[in-house]
Structure 1
Amino acid sequence: MRQMAFALLVLAATSTSVLAHSKPEQTTPANETTVATVKAIEMRFDDPMRVTAITLAGPDGEISIERETGMDAVTEFRALPPADLPNGAYRVDWRGLSSDGHPMQGTFGFTVAE
């Protein structure tokens, strides 16, 4: 009986990790920080994520960014904003598919101030 209880405990512990979805571990710029310049927008995920949409919005509306990592599932996503972002508050919204096929989304923000 003890072996069966232990086996069920191990099964329960491993099944929750299998059900876990990819999530961002780090963003650049970091969420809610103030930076002088932004050379790249980066997200690091704990599992591969296929980022299907990403937008950057600033004080004057949406800003075009260039995807550097394409549409493949990656653990490190990178996009390039225009050369100089003017001072102000910015928000990055993203959507993607985690490695287990579940849709995911997130937002982070930062401020540019020289």
Structure 2
Amino acid sequence: MKPTLLALASVLATATAALAHSKAEGTTPADGATVESIEAIELRFDDPMRVTAIALAGPDGDLEITRETGLDPVTEFRAMPPENMPAGAYTVDWRGLSPDGHPMQGSFGFTVSD
């Protein structure tokens, strides 16, 4: 391979790696799940994520949740919802910073049954 092509291939490979960002790999409850109750809200990431904000909205508006995980970058984030959540649809919205400082956000929903 010519030196110029080899250098270009090296630069492209480095740029691709630099553009990779953490992503959510799973949640508890799972997105779209119907559950009887919920003990914790969990987010799992492929690389450490600094979760900077998390909010829970339900059928009667926003609910207060308690962060169990601090602001350090983690691959597993956990927060505690209020006890005895009423039946209905809920949405979790989160924001964070990936290891390269890129802002990330996501949401997922679940339903608590009667």
**TM-score scaled to structure 1, two decimals?**
0.90
Which structure 2 segments of 5+ residues have no match? none
Q: Which residue of 1 aligns with 2:54?
A: 54
Q: Name the SS for the 2:38 alignment partner.
A: coil
Tell me the CA shift for residue 36 of structure 1.
1.2
Separation of aligned partners in 2, 1:98 and 1:32: 25
Separation of aligned partners in 1, 2:12 and 2:88: 47
Separation of aligned partners in 1, 2:18 and 2:36: 40
Q: Name the SS for the 1:86 alignment partner.
A: coil
Deviates more, 1:68-77 or 1:5-14: 5-14
Tell me the CA shift for residue 10 of structure 1.
4.3
Q: Which residue of 2 aligns with 1:8?
A: 8
Which amino acid letter does the alignment assign opposite residue 70 of structure 1?
G
Which amino acid letter does the alignment assign opposite residue 109 of structure 1?
G
Which amino acid letter does the alignment assign opposite residue 74 of structure 1?
V
What fraction of aligned residue pairs are identical, expressed as a percent? 65
Alignment deviations for residues 58-113 of structure 1 (CA, whole Å, 9 cap, x no partner): 00000101100111111110000012211100000111111111111111101111
Separation of aligned partners in 2, 1:48 and 1:87: 33
Q: Which residue of 1 aligns with 2:88?
A: 88
Q: Which residue of 1 aligns with 2:110?
A: 110
Separation of aligned partners in 1, 2:7 and 2:35: 50
Q: Which residue of 1 aligns with 2:98?
A: 98
Number of aligned positions between the proteins: 113
Tell me the CA shift for residue 7 of structure 1.
4.8
Q: Which residue of 2 aligns with 1:40?
A: 40
Separation of aligned partners in 2, 1:17 and 1:111: 37
Q: Name the SS for the 2:21 alignment partner.
A: coil
